[in-house]
Amino acid sequence: MGKFIISKRTNDDFQFNLKAGNGQVILTSQGYSSKSSCENGIESVRINSQDESKFEKNTAKDNRWYFNLKAGNGQIIGSSQMYESENGMDNGIESVKNNAPGASVEDETNL
């Protein structure tokens, strides 16, 4: 099963990564000024990841694929890694859908 990892960026913002069961990062959040906002972002991923219409598929300038997961208000709550193929990106989306709802949360900011 997947897990959310809460960490701090160098600018002291909080962020989370959603990792699949194999440890691969499948979604990375924006920066949040507070831990509670970061935790709210995780809950938003749990909910919005179950709605196909909330995934925005894109191609970068180097022709690699990536996706954003958006909240109900249209704000990006997480972005994927870069994928070499559209199929790889689609597999990443499926992994987020499958892992997010039941993922545990590990807080690495108190270590």
Contact assessment for residue 72 and residue 48, using Cβ atoms and an 8 Å cutoff? yes
Residue 99: CATH number of its domain? 2.30.29.80
Tens digit of each residue's pLDDT (9 = 90 or more) over 87-98 = 999 999 999 999
Tens digit of each residue's pLDDT (9 = 90 or more) over 17-53 = 999 999 999 999 999 999 999 999 999 999 999 999 9
Contact assessment for residue 2 and residue 106, using Cβ atoms and an 8 Å cutoff? no
For the cut 70, the answer to whether the pLDDT of residue 111 exceeds it is no
Domain count, the chain: 1
Burial 79-97 (b: 16+ CB within 10 A, else e): bbbebeeeeebeebbebbe
Contact assessment for residue 14 and residue 5, using Cβ atoms and an 8 Å cutoff? no
Domain of 95?
Answer: 3-107
